[in-house]
Copies of this chain bind each other. A is one copy, B any other.
């Protein structure tokens, strides 16, 4: 009998581990209202007997990236990448010394660069990415992530992802959701690492993009990135990017800034059960605290709109037991 029980022990152990996961799919979330609301939503849309049941193919969840899945301070990480590229390429571009936003980049004036906004960012991106093939660009991004540390935390950038959001992505996928990134950041900047970091494959990454050209160079077909904007996947561009790439309206959307307003609005104004989530950066100790007055990740209109629209505001400081993995 005793031997019998010993044989069963590993089974019980496995069962209890599974149970822990099933009991708490979001261990890095404090047991606050936000967590309970997420679980209640997922439970009702996946229960075939619930009036709010949603068939599996319609379970589309979209996540902003900067400030929602990973940090975005002191400036968007992609901007830091572009800055490093400008410095590398500056030897061949003497004119950049007097030309904005390049001049500010070379003077390490991050504030001036950030103030140049989305437009300045796209100029930097066009200048530093144009003429490269997508393979060359992907390699450059991978090498940079591998070799570069964040200026204040000293972590690699893809270590500065939010553990609670990683758990949320997995929890949704475990419940039949397809998870997408829908970011103002560059689509080809995110793709090389999104699969390993977030479990989100390249075909489920939506982002700002440059136009591309297909050509055969010395017998070798290549796709070349052109210095011309295709889509700015921010604000009113987000629902457009969602429709273009996904072709269905999400039932769950997560963001953290006014750039996500229209994605949240588009998502939560559909029929049936919907969930809008806003990450509010309130933790100056473990991460950063900012909202209405921040040049990066400004959260103002969406914060005001959240209560009347039923969007769930996550208080990072109080709702998250852990920030980074």
Chain A residues in the interface with B (C-beta under 8 A): 57, 60, 134, 178, 187-188, 191, 195, 201-205, 209, 212-216, 220-221, 223, 230, 236-240, 243-248, 262, 265-266, 269
Contacts and interface: CB of A to CB of B under 8 A. Distances in A.
A5 to B, nearest CB: 34
Contact of A202 (B216, B247, B269): B247
11 contacts: A57-B195, A134-B243, A187-B244, A187-B247, A188-B247, A203-B248, A216-B265, A220-B269, A221-B239, A221-B269, A223-B240
A247 B205 contact: yes
Contacts of A209: 244
Contact of A223 (B223, B239, B245): B239
A212 B243 contact: yes
A81 to B, nearest CB: 18
Contacts of A246: 202-203
A269 B215 CA distance: 13
Nearest to A203: B246
Contacts of A187: 244, 247
Given A212-B243, A216-B265, A223-B239, 14 more contacts: A60-B203, A134-B243, A191-B247, A201-B247, A202-B246, A205-B247, A212-B240, A214-B240, A214-B266, A221-B266, A221-B269, A223-B240, A223-B266, A245-B245
Contacts of A178: 203
Contacts of A60: 203
Contacts of A265: 216, 221
Contact of A203 (B212, B216, B247): B247
Contacts of A203: 60, 178, 203-204, 245-248
A128 B213 CA distance: 29
A191 B249 CA distance: 13
Nearest to A194: B247
A7 B197 CA distance: 50
Nearest to A242: B223
Contacts of A244: 187, 209, 212, 230
Given A221-B269, A245-B245, A247-B187, A213 B201 contact: no
A60 B236 CA distance: 31
Contact of A214 (B57, B188, B223, B239): B239
